[in-house]
Structure 1
Amino acid sequence: MSQDTINALVSPEGSLEILSSHEVNRLKDRSEGGLYKLFRQCALAVLNTGAETDDCKKLMEIHADFDVRLVPQPRGLKLELINAPANAFVDGEMLRALREHLFSVLRDIVYSNSMPSSASGFKRDNPEDITNLIFHILRNARVLQAGRVPDMVVCWGGHSISRDEYIYTKDVGHELGLRGMNICTGCGPGAMKGPMKGATIGHAKQRVRNGRYIGLTEPAIIGAEAPNPIVNELVILPDIEKRLEAFVRAGHGIIVFPGGVGTAEEILYLLGILLHPDNVDLPYPVIFTGRKENAGYFQMIDEFIRNALGDEAAKKYEIIIDDPARVARIMKEGIADVEAYRREKQDAYYFNWMLKIDPVFQLPFEPDHEKMLALELHRDQPVHMIAANLRKAFSGIVAGNVKEGGIKQVEEKGPFEISGDPALLQPLDALLTAFVEQNRMKLPGSSAYRPSYRIVPRTG
């Protein structure tokens, strides 16, 4: 064992303490259908919090000798960690936040993989069943709390941002915390950490003692965006589509900071949903914000949205530049409208059941070269379908950038090819080029970005 690793026996903290023999056997199962590989990958990501890498494949290679084993105890269970990253420990004791995260991983992997098989008539491609699965995962994680008025602000933005951009996200989080708002993000670094860090100070000033900092992630991305230690409620959803639906169902408003392809994917997902006719009257405050130096970035995003989805899509969000206090005030006012609407319609505060989500946004898209090339990127389709297919294009690029499976495909077969209507593809190419030039594809200081995609002329 090197000086950078530790062997340890860890007791549960805050989550799952009891497993059935069937669940234990599945977690030990190293075959394709077992859960060992998935649990090990997520556990390693949690223990690697703070590491300067966004390459899931590289992380697994660096810690190839890491292992995690279940140790049954008379009063429950413990986890034996072998060659665990030393930065997860202080004086031989694991950081409590990371211990909580580690057992949250265990809880969600066990539940997500047992609940569908135990639910009578559950179908993985049925929209209602998918939404119910997300509800059950969030409820099992105790994220859904009855009796609370709407106060959950979802913050999206890049994990690869400048120091000044990060400080701005903290300033916005601070203003939200001063107004009693809680924070939900993708749980990683950058724009996912900043609002939480700012909110902790705002909450402290207002003596808010039960501040909530919810992190929603999924197994394929957790290695690239390890949960930051401020997260006090971590949930691992089965895939990106369920993660995105969890954001919009559990959140009461969304703030978007500058980011790269992952942020663009989130924006298209959100706008594609809000543009559905069934959601036209449903209040859902959305704010794009950044420093004054980011004005050009959001102008670029706004122009891309208007070109792809039309001016109606631009009515679904407000752009506020360099004014954290105004962002927080407008968001709080918007959430007050959400509360009034939910009360009038007798909808739950804690889970947005009324939001209509088309199945095209729910069914998992697992990118490969054939699927990426076959995407329907043209205007001869409903606007929500344009959003859905562009979302898939960005999702594939994210996979090629930071997800282990996508990275392997690009290494073996070259970049994913994207083809379609030049009226959509030329602005897309310009946007992606700008992301590369602004270093929004990789963490600052990491190796030069090698594109996981290639725009190709339409054939036929």
Structure 2
Amino acid sequence: MSNLNPNQPILTEPGVYKTVDALISPIDQLNALSKIEAAKLLDSSQSGLYKLFRSCSLAVLNTGNDLDDGKELLERYKDFDISIVQQERGIKLAVKNAPANAFVDDKMIRGISEHLFTVLRDVIYTNDEIKGNPKFNLNSSEGITDAVFHMLRNANLLQPGLDPNLVVCWGGHSINRVEYEYTKEVGYQLGLRSLDICTGCGPGAMKGPMKGATIGHAKQRINNGRYIGITEPGIIAAEAPNPIVNQLAIMPDIEKRLEAFVRLGHGIIVFPGGAGTTEEILYILGILLHPDNKEIPFPLVFTGPESSADYFAHIDSFIGNTLGAEAQSHYKIIVNDSEAVAREMREGIKKVREFRKQSDDAYYFNWQLRISPDLQQPFIPTHENMRNLELHKNQPVNQLAANLRRAFSGIVAGNVKEEGICAIEEFGHFELHGDPEIMHPIDELLASFARDNRMKLPGREYVPCYKVIK
């Protein structure tokens, strides 16, 4: 039996990676475009969007490999190129010097091919239709939500004929083996209860629930299970779509990605993670703490194996010390009981269904949930913006949650996003300033993540990208 690790890139010699050139045809999508539509895509791909299109495409082609550094990935395959070829019968994608792992016997793996055309659809087509369309006011809360709806509809993720059954799972992409196995157990129990899975589409806690759910669905003879992945360009290299994802959407920024999760899903499970998972927790708490959402049911469960009990104790303490008891009342912590987690989520989703039925809200898109602009407007984590964050308690608690979310978003950018990594290399650490009663819990939580290797990135030692100024 071969000892070859399929997740490792194929080396022809030290430092030289095997690549493939190919012409790829669309399978189920974008295979019937008019000449005008194809020409528009061709023009867009050759404009300022090309860099974004190329980096997202390379990340998809790198699916399954351990490398999660976007900057290093681009350097490793610096000769990679992708272009749109217009033909009478539609379009094809021409790739040059693509990672060889994306191919079997010189033919691209079908799932990777599907994801590659998703990049074309979302990064270029959706960008033109949403950002360049005066019908969407991206400076207003309603306009942003409307844009998120149209992007999800364009990705065919809105299914009007289904009862609520979609569970969003958040957690780290580099969790340990015990935690990963537990995410599969939870996914299995969810699958047995006919619940579908939506994650950030990457490895670790994003892959495990999907993998477990496939077995639960198989036992229940469910052959149309949905394994939805939602990502965004800045983080796709660190969390490339895992092979189980059968529906993928690439949102234009982290804020629209997060809104897509809560508009599309009917409940959220949070597994252990690091700064990115904390950002997600703060985002959903910022929504649930808004006074307008007080009566809207939305099940939220934090869970992990017995070995993760201290992790959730730190998270719970951090939330209590910064946002208070009201925030703690919006979630339930269940340790080492996958069946209890699945039952809790199933019962919570029943309440969601009943509420939406009574209020005549759609099952497939959570229109009634109020999301404030400070959770919707893109936050650019420059050194100045990070330094000027308002991290104090003299503000509404939901607004404090939004500002804390921005702080952790900046740390994620400094960890894994190309522009964030470059900014840290050029200007040094991000600085976080605020009241001691806020800064001390932040410092303690981040220190606990570092001690437990939750800030460590596979293949390289973690070096903090931030300083907490108390």
Question: 1:344: which partner in 2?
Answer: 358
- State the Cα distance separating 1:125 from its structure 2 match: 1.1
- State the Cα distance separating 1:57 from its structure 2 match: 0.8
Give the root-mean-square deviation of aligned CA atoms.
1.1
Equivalent-residue separation in structure 2 for 1:110 and 1:36 (angstroms): 9
Q: Partner of 1:176: helix, strand, or coil?
A: helix
Return structure 1 stretches of 4+ with deviation > 6 angstroms: none
Equivalent-residue separation in structure 1 for 2:99 and 2:456 (angstroms): 22
Question: 1:405: which partner in 2?
Answer: 419
Aligned length: 452
Equivalent-residue separation in structure 1 for 2:199 and 2:73 (angstroms): 22
1:177 aligns with 2:195: no
* Cα contact 1:159–1:443 (8 A) shared by 2: no
Alignment of 1:370-389 (within 5 A): 370-389=384-403
Q: Deviations over 1:98-129 (max 9, x none)?
A: 00100011111123312235544432211111
- State the Cα distance separating 1:28 from its structure 2 match: 1.7
Match of 2:377 among 363, 367, 371: 363
Matched letter for residue 150 of structure 2: H
* Cα contact 2:136–2:147 (8 A) shared by 1: no
Matched letter for residue 266 of structure 2: H
Question: 1:266: which partner in 2?
Answer: 280
Structure 1 portions without partners, runs of 5+: none
Equivalent-residue separation in structure 2 for 1:440 and 1:81 (angstroms): 35
1:264/1:117 Cα in 2 relative to 1: closer, same or farther (>3 Å)? closer
Matched letter for residue 452 of structure 1: C
Matched letter for residue 98 of structure 2: A
Q: Deviations over 1:295-318 (max 9, x none)?
A: 111011001001111101111000
1:438 aligns with 2:456: no
Alignment of 1:76-225 (within 5 A): 76-117=90-131, 119-225=133-239
Equivalent-residue separation in structure 2 for 1:393 and 1:377 (angstroms): 9
Q: Partner of 1:78: helix, strand, or coil?
A: strand
TM-score for both structures, normalised by structure 1: 0.97
Equivalent-residue separation in structure 2 for 1:205 and 1:452 (angstroms): 45
Equivalent-residue separation in structure 2 for 1:25 and 1:7 (angstroms): 22
Match of 1:294 among 297, 301, 308: 308
Question: 2:78: which partner in 1?
Answer: 64
Structure 2 portions without partners, runs of 5+: 1-11
1:74 aligns with 2:92: no
Match of 1:333 among 327, 347, 359: 347
Question: 1:447: which partner in 2?
Answer: 460
Alignment of 1:281-320 (within 5 A): 281-320=295-334
Q: Partner of 2:400: helix, strand, or coil?
A: helix
Q: Deviations over 1:386-410 (max 9, x none)?
A: 1011100000000000000000000
1:42/1:391 Cα in 2 relative to 1: closer, same or farther (>3 Å)? same
* Cα contact 1:276–1:384 (8 A) shared by 2: yes
Matched letter for residue 464 of structure 2: P
Match of 2:253 among 239, 254, 258: 239
Match of 1:277 among 273, 291, 303: 291
Q: Partner of 2:379: helix, strand, or coil?
A: coil
Equivalent-residue separation in structure 1 for 2:17 and 2:61 (angstroms): 16
Equivalent-residue separation in structure 2 for 1:42 and 1:269 (angstroms): 25
Equivalent-residue separation in structure 2 for 1:439 and 1:60 (angstroms): 26
1:28 aligns with 2:41: no
- State the Cα distance separating 1:71 from its structure 2 match: 1.1
Q: Deviations over 1:141-182 (max 9, x none)?
A: 110011100000000000010011100000000000010000
- State the Cα distance separating 1:322 from its structure 2 match: 0.3
Equivalent-residue separation in structure 2 for 1:104 and 1:290 (angstroms): 32
Equivalent-residue separation in structure 2 for 1:224 and 1:35 (angstroms): 20
Equivalent-residue separation in structure 2 for 1:330 and 1:117 (angstroms): 39
Matched letter for residue 410 of structure 1: I
- State the Cα distance separating 1:447 from its structure 2 match: 1.3
Equivalent-residue separation in structure 2 for 1:329 and 1:16 (angstroms): 40
Q: Partner of 1:211: helix, strand, or coil?
A: coil
Equivalent-residue separation in structure 2 for 1:428 and 1:118 (angstroms): 39
1:449/1:3 Cα in 2 relative to 1: closer, same or farther (>3 Å)? closer
1:3/1:278 Cα in 2 relative to 1: closer, same or farther (>3 Å)? closer
Equivalent-residue separation in structure 2 for 1:127 and 1:312 (angstroms): 25
Equivalent-residue separation in structure 1 for 2:130 and 2:112 (angstroms): 28
Equivalent-residue separation in structure 1 for 2:125 and 2:91 (angstroms): 17
Equivalent-residue separation in structure 1 for 2:324 and 2:129 (angstroms): 40
Matched letter for residue 175 of structure 1: Q
Matched letter for residue 273 of structure 1: I
